[in-house]
């Protein structure tokens, strides 16, 4: 039996483990894939306070070693279900067939970016393809980039990148945007943003880095090539919450939890990109982990 079980060994989950262990809580982290979450594949991090530059792998490894060094147990086994209540113990069921119990649970399940689903996308990720403009935009100062997407995030990314890059193409498969009209209007008024509709990215070119993209017109099938240094994919995220849809309240697939990280179920907390929030960054994931852990500690001690 653990005091706190944390589901997910990404930035939020491992940060929560650090705070839980510092409070001398018996802490177990369950992870179905690898530690570090999405950040482990990021070639360079330059927006984490007090660390000017570090690779995602090194940063995630340092975080993992910090948590385990304090005594947190990290088990690589996927959580498939959680049962029980705050009045009793929570039972955590694992893919291996094993079970564990805890007084409190922190869901730090994260979210994954939707991909374009075209050839070489994985190969060129970190080599011209990014899923986070605020994370990687600074690498493209004075260059030509493109954003693929039509929602608020895509248009916001284009506006953000327009302050860094010389030229920004905003590629969307429809002529109309799902983004708020005020955002679309602001983007249209920026001289270095060019709208490219109704097109989709169908081919990636360049070796060893992205050099251009082939676009296909969805109305007439015609194609054209854009020479760019970076492509920012902003077509949404998929929170990894499917296993918990009957456990806690969800909104748009994300776990409903405010800045206090408390869900609608007493004793269960949510942290990181899998919870309802506006900003999903490395720093906010870590801060969520701290908040969720402290809330879980208070729950165990005070009820």
Residues labelled as active-site residues:
132, 135-136
191 Cβ contact list (under 8 Å, min separation 6): none
43 contacts: CB under 8 Å, gap ≥ 6? 55, 56, 126, 127
| Termini Cα distance of the chain | 18
Spatial distance between the Cα atoms of 247 and 274, rounded to a whole number of angstroms: 14
CA 201 to chain CA mean position, Å: 22
Measured distance CA(145)–CA(209) in Å, rounded: 13
* Helix extents (H) in 73-231: 121-124, 133-136, 152-162, 181-188
User: Are residues 195 and 179 in contact, defined by beta-carbon separation less than 8 angstroms?
Assistant: no
Cα–Cα–Cα angle for 120, 126, 132, nearest 5°?
110
């Amino acid at each position: 039996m653990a005091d706190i079980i944390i589901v997910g060994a990404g930035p939020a989950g491992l940060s929560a483990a650090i705070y839980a262990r510092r409070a001398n809580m018996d802490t177990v982290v369950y992870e179905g894939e690898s530690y570090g979450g999405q950040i482990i594949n990021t070639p360079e991090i330059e927006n984490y306070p007090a660390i000017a530059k570090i690779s995602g792998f090194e940063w995630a490894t340092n975080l993992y070693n910090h948590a385990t060094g304090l005594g947190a147990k990290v088990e690589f086994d996927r959580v498939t279900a959680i049962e029980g209540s705050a009045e009793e113990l929570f039972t955590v069921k694992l893919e291996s067939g094993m079970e564990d119990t805890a007084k409190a649970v922190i869901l730090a399940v994260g979210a994954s970016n939707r991909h374009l689903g075209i050839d070489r996308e994985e190969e060129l990720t970190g080599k011209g393809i990014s899923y986070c403009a605020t994370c990687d935009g600074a690498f493209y100062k004075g260059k030509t980039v493109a954003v693929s997407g039509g929602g608020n995030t895509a248009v916001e990314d284009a506006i953000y990148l327009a302050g860094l890059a010389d030229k920004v193409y905003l590629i969307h498969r429809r002529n109309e945007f799902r983004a708020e009209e005020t955002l679309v209007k602001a983007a249209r008024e920026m001289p270095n943003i060019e709208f490219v509709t109704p097109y989709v990215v169908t081919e990636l070119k360049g070796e060893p880095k992205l050099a251009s993209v082939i676009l296909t017109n969805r109305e007439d099938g015609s194609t054209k090539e854009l020479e760019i240094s970076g492509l920012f994919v902003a077509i949404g995220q998929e929170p990894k919450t499917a296993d918990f849809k009957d456990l806690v309240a969800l909104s748009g697939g994300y776990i409903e939890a405010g800045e206090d990280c408390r869900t609608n179920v007493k004793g269960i907390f949510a942290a990181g990109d899998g919870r309802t929030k506006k900003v999903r960054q490395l720093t906010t994931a870590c801060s969520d982990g701290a908040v969720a852990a402290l809330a879980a500690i208070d729950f165990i001690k005070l009820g």
